[in-house]
Structure 1
C-alpha cells in the first residue's frame, strides 16, 4: 500500500491529495477529486486507479467516502475545456474540488507537475497517484465518478461507445464520430473533433 510520502509541508493531518481523470478524451468533462485521509482509519489497497480493476475501484471508492476525513469532486465542463484549454480547465476543476473540502486542507499534494492556485500551500508530485495514499484515493474517486457519468452519457448518445472507451480517442470512437457526427459533449478544441466541424 502506498504510504503518505514525507514532504517539507508544515506538520498537519489536514493534507489533501488531488488528482484528475479525463484530460485526454475527446468527449465529456474533466473530473477531479480531493481527499483528506484519516490517519486513524487507514485504507488498505490504495493505488493508482488505472492499475485497479473496475470492481476494485468501485469497492475502494465506497471505503474512501466512508473513512476519509473529507472528500469532494470538482469538474470542468466541455465548454470550459474549449474556452480555457484542457490544462487550465483541469486546474480550475482542481480548485473547485479543494474549495469544496470541509474541513479545508492546510496543504495540498497534486498528482503531476502543475499546481492550481489555492488558498493554502500546494505541491506537485510526479507519479503521486502511485506513491501518495491521499492522491491514490483522489484518483480512485475521480475515475469512478467520471466512468459512471460516461455510462449515463452513453445512453444519451448511443452509437459512440462512450461506456466502453470513456470518450478517449480510440479507433472505434473516431470512426463513430465520422459516421454519426459531433455531439454537444464533444470537445471542439481537440483536433480529431475540430477536423470534423
Structure 2
C-alpha cells in the first residue's frame, strides 16, 4: 500500500485519474518494478476539475484525462520554444528582449510549418527535437555558388540527410504563392 491516496491535507474535490497504457520501447528502461511485473505503464493525474461549465461530458474521467494530456503537448511546445532561443533572454532591456522573443517564436513557427508541410512522411525528422533538426538540416554542409548568372546550392554528396533536405526544398518550392 502506497498511502498516496489518503486525501489528508488535499483540497476539497481533489481526485486522481489513473491512466494505464502499454509502454513504448523508449519508456521500458524507466518502468518501476510493479510496472515491469504487470507490463503496463501508469500515469496519475491529480485534478480538482469537477466539470467545465457549458461543455457536456466534461465531468467524465476520459474528458479530464484528454484535457491533461493535451496540456502535456503545450508543455512540449514550451520546451521546443526554449530550445529555439527562449531559454536565455539576451538583455535587461525590455525592447531588446521583446524582439528576441518575437524572433524565437518566428523560428519555432517556421520549424513547425517546415515539419508539417515537407517532413510529414520522414520517420526520423517529423517529430525530431530542435537540436536534431539543427544538426541535420539547418546547419547545411553546402556552398552557394554562381554559374552562368544563376545561383546553385552545392550540397556535400556524402551528407546522409541530403535526400531529406532536397525533398523538403522541392516541396517548399511547389507550394502555391499566397495572394
**TM exceeds 0.5?**
no
Determine which structure has the larger helix proportion and give its number. Answer: 2
More relative contact order, 1 or 2 (CA 8 Å, 6+ apart): 1
TM-score, normalised by the number of residues in structure 2: 0.25
TM-score, normalised by the number of residues in structure 1: 0.23
Q: Which has the larger radius of gyration?
A: 2
